């Protein structure tokens, strides 16, 4: 303690300026967290220099070597020293921090990297007769020397963090760091589809192994992006996406978003770009969740690559040293645009879901039969092969007739169903979902279409239709209720009861009337008429769970939709119910007429389609 002033510790030192090396090392802590963030800075520099091809090589997860080579405009020899000093940049003049069009502008990456690793920059400025090189090691800058390079810039970073052993300890395994580098490069490759990228793992020396390659794409922004996304996310993604293009008050949203049926178990395929810069932002992912909330259960995540662009003044990218976070001037506008554009696209997609079976699935359906051998099968092995699916050719002799058939579980035979008069005519095959031909396992409907067949999960489809009907009723005049002859008394926990009673006014509009019933019970008086006879107890318990899950965070509308979706499950055809031909065809027609009927309330497809060409491929006919 200080004798004069007990509040000033004796060991306080006076304020003084840190030297450049220390300042750079501190800045490096913010800009360069790991090898992947070094790669990000170097590739962004190459893009800012107008490169059309960028090659990234790394060894040992980027810990021992990162080398980024580009064909951009290069750096003049007499600016190399400046490039390595802090807050020195060619990208802005400092007068207008709100009007930024480049990835970089802080002038911090190269000095930071030079402070925590061995950095060498070799560059040949456009039009210059020769190249030059400069090295910096742990902050000590060497001389500018002549070098050999035909064009562009090559930046080599060796032994990252060798000068800061504490940071070295925080590095993950080579594998994890390599993976992170791959992710960074792929994000930037999506942001710049016209630029070609190669990523090579050169661990152990030599040319190394190409781990990612993206050839330069041509065409307009949508075409180029489509090609790039197919390369990075796969053909299954592009085959199942919706093109997004929307504008609101000068804010533009473009890109591709997958149909709900192409969803993922984690948020691994959500890519957002703000003014061309890859960002990770809670506002944007939250908006995405909102847009798909109607189609996906909470453990499924949509896949998207979406680009927001606006006047740079309307978004602040300078809130984080790595610029991976942004702040919108009008966050509500950005959110609203994303939610409405995606909801609109989803509505337009209508019953189109992940309808065409992917190549992988087709492959899996094809039995492995060795080539060039002929199998002679006896009757016993034939029926063993067919197992439960004893789909036989109907013959007159067996008492079958043409047309509608129904599979009988008990006998394992295909039973005839009266046909023709029910309207399952050739005409219906022209409709998108075709004409119902059979029902399997008392759930799946087989329908014939003009150019193939579809298989409908009747239970899932019905659930979705009931949900959509409920929503329509809800929007028009509230859901019609039906009074229970004998009110149902349900005992529940105090928490559940209080949540249910708080939601009671909303539930009334949904056709569900509940009242307190003293102590620890509630009384159900009315249920939604559309559901017919329901197990009121099971439904109320489900809704109580949903309310507990939702918490208070959701908007009233989202909550109502979540509850409706639960309610819909209770009115659905349960698996095991046999349907008549007219019922099946009616279901198909209603699916065609109903928006969003291509996926169930949990985001699974309600039907899949096999085109004739797919069927022919399955049998090796093409």
Give the interface with ligand ADP as residue ranges (CB under 6 A): 41, 45-46, 49, 70, 72-75, 83, 89-91, 104-110, 153
Whole-angstrom distance, CA of residue 278 vs CA of residue 191: 7
Which residue lies nearer to ligand ADP by CB, 290 or 321? Answer: 321
Q: In angstroms, what is the minimal distance from the CB of 192 to ligand ADP?
A: 14
Residue 168 C-beta: closest distance to ligand ADP, Å: 23
Q: How far is the CB of 67 from ligand ADP (least distance, A)?
A: 12
Taking the complex as a whole, the smallest distance from the CB of residue 153 to ligand ADP amounts, in Å, to 4
Per-state percent for the chain, helix, strand, coil, to nearest 5: 35, 25, 40
Give the integer Cα–Cα distance in Å for 421 and 567.
35
49 binds, among Mg ion, ligand ADP, none (CB under 5 to 8 A by kind): ligand ADP
Distance separating the N- and C-terminal Cα atoms of the chain? 89
Cβ nearer to Mg ion, comparing 21 with 88: 88
Strands 452-457, 607-611: pairing is antiparallel
User: What distance in Å separates the CA atoms of residue 194 and residue 272, rounded to the nearest whole number?
Assistant: 18
Q: In this complex, which beta carbon is closest to ligand ADP, that of residue 73 or of residue 167?
A: 73
The minimum distance between CB 73 and ligand ADP, in angstroms, equals 6
CB 503 within 8 A of CB 554: no
Residue 270's binding partner, choosing from Mg ion, ligand ADP, none, with beta-carbon cut-off 5 to 8 A by kind? none
| 160 neighbors 38 (Cβ within 8 angstroms) | yes
Angstrom distance (rounded) from CA 81 to CA 25: 18
HSE, CB side, 13 Å, CA atoms: give it for residue 37. Answer: 20
Shorter beta-carbon distance to Mg ion: residue 88 or 267? 88
Contact between 438 and Mg ion per CB under 5 A: no
How many Cβ atoms are within 10 Å of 108's Cβ, its own excluded?
22
Q: How many CA atoms lie within 13 A of 405 on its CB side?
A: 22
What does the DSSP assignment read for 154-169? Answer: EEEEESTTTT-HHHHT
Binding region for Mg ion (CB under 5 A) out of 98-106, 322-330, 494-502, 578-586: 98-106
Residues 35-64 that bind Mg ion (CB under 5 A): 45
Q: Which stretch binds Mg ion (CB under 5 A): 99-107, 251-259, 505-513, 569-577?
A: 99-107
Per partner kind, with CB cut-offs from 5 to 8 A, the member of ligand ADP, Mg ion, none near residue 74 is ligand ADP
Name residue 354's beta-bridge partners: none
In the complex with ligand ADP, which residue's Cβ is closer, 160 or 522? 160
How far is Cα 459 from Cα 466, in angstroms, rounded to an integer? Answer: 11
**Cβ closest to ligand ADP, residue 34 vs residue 46:** 46
Write down the least CB distance from residue 164 to ligand ADP, Å: 19
Residue 110 contacts which entry, Mg ion, ligand ADP, none (Cβ below 5-8 A, type-dependent): ligand ADP
Q: Give me the least distance between CB of 287 and ligand ADP, in Å please.
A: 29
> Looking at 104, 278, 452, 603, which residue binds Mg ion (CB under 5 A)?
104
Residue closer to Mg ion by CB (options 109, 510) is 109
- Cβ proximity to Mg ion: between 45 and 439 the closer is 45
Give the nearest residue (CB) to Mg ion: 104
Instruction: Please work out, in degrees rounded to the nearest 5, the angle formed at the alpha carbon of residue 140 by the alpha carbons of 137 and 144.
Output: 90
50/216 with CB nearer ligand ADP: 50
# binding residues, Mg ion (CB under 5 A): 3
**Of positions 109, 342, 433, 573, contacts Mg ion by CB under 5 A:** 109
Distances (CA, A) of 14 to 4, 6, 73, 213: 17, 17, 46, 54
Unique residue bearing structure tokens 């003014």: 275
Residue 435 interacts with which of ligand ADP, Mg ion, none, CB < 5 to 8 Å by class: none
Q: What are the residues facing 523 on neighbouring strands?
A: 489, 515
HSE, CB side, 13 Å, CA atoms: give it for residue 451: 5
Shortest distance, CB of residue 589 to Mg ion, whole angstroms? 59
Q: Which is nearer to ligand ADP, 32 or 454 (CB)?
A: 32
R_g of the chain computed on alpha carbons: 32
Q: At what angle do helices 556-569 and 536-550 cross, to 10 degrees?
A: 150
Residues that bind Mg ion (CB under 5 A): 45, 104, 109
């Amino acid at each position: 303690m200080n004798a004069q002033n007990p509040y000033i510790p004796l060991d306080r030192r006076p304020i003084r300026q840190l030297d450049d090396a220390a300042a750079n090392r501190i800045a490096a802590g913010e800009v360069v967290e790991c090898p992947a963030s070094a790669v990000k800075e170097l590739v962004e520099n190459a893009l800012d220099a107008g490169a059309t091809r960028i090659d990234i090589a790394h060894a040992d997860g980027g810990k021992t070597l990162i080398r980024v080579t580009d064909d951009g405009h290069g750096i003049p020899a007499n600016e190399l020293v400046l490039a390595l000093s802090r807050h020195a940049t060619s990208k802005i003049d400092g007068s207008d921090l709100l009007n930024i069009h480049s990835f970089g502008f802080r002038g911090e990456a190269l000095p930071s990297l030079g402070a925590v690793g061995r950095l060498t920059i070799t560059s040949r400025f456009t039009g210059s007769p020769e190249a030059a090189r400069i090295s910096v090691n742990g902050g000590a800058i060497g001389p500018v020397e002549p070098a050999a390079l035909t064009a562009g810039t090559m930046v080599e970073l060796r032994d990252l963090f060798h000068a800061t052993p504490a940071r070295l300890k925080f590095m993950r395994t080579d594998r994890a760091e390599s993976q992170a580098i791959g992710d960074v490069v792929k994000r930037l490759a999506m942001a710049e589809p016209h630029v070609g990228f190669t990523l090579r793992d050169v661990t152990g020396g030599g040319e190394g192994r190409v781990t990612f390659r993206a050839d330069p794409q041509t065409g307009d922004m949508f075409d180029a992006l489509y090609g790039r996304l197919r390369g990075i996310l796969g053909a299954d993604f592009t085959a199942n996406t919706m093109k997004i293009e929307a504008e609101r008050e000068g804010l533009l949203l473009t890109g591709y978003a997958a149909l709900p049926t192409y969803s993922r178990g984690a948020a691994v395929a959500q890519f957002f770009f703000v003014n061309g810069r890859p960002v990770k932002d809670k506002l944007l992912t939250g908006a995405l969740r909102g847009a798909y909330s109607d189609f996906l259960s909470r453990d499924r995540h949509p896949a998207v690559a979406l680009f927001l662009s606006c006047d740079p003044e309307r978004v602040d990218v300078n809130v984080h040293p790595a610029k991976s976070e942004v702040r919108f001037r009008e966050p509500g506008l950005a959110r609203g645009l994303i939610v409405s554009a995606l909801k609109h696209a989803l509505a337009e997609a209508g019953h189109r879901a992940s309808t065409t079976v992917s190549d992988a699935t087709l492959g899996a359906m094809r039995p492995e039969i060795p080539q060039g051998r002929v199998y002679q099968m006896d009757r016993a092995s034939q029926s063993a092969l067919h197992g439960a699916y004893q789909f036989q050719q109907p013959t007159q002799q067996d008492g079958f007739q043409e047309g509608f058939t129904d599979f009988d579980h008990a006998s394992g035979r295909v039973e005839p169903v009266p046909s023709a008069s029910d309207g399952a005519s050739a005409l219906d095959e022209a409709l998108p979902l075709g004409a119902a031909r059979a029902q399997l396992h008392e759930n799946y409907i087989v329908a014939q279409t003009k150019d193939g067949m579809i298989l409908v999960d009747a239970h899932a489809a019905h659930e979705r239709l009931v949900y959509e009907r409920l929503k329509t009723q809800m929007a028009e005049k509230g859901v019609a209720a039906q009074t229970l002859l004998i009110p149902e008394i349900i005992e529940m926990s105090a928490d559940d009861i209080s949540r249910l009673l708080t939601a009671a006014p909303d539930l009334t509009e949904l056709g569900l009337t509940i009242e307190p019933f003293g102590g620890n019970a509630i009384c159900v008086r009315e249920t939604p008429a559309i559901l017919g006879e329901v197990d009121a107890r099971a439904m109320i318990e489900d809704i109580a769970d949903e309310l507990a899950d939702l918490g208070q965070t959701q908007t009233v509308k989202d909550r109502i939709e979540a509850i409706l979706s639960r309610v819909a499950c209770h009115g659905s055809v349960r698996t095991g119910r046999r349907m008549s031909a007219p019922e099946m065809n009616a279901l198909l027609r209603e699916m065609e007429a109903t928006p969003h009927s291509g996926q169930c309330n949990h985001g699974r497809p309600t039907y899949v389609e096999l085109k004739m060409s797919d069927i022919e491929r399955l049998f090796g006919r093409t």
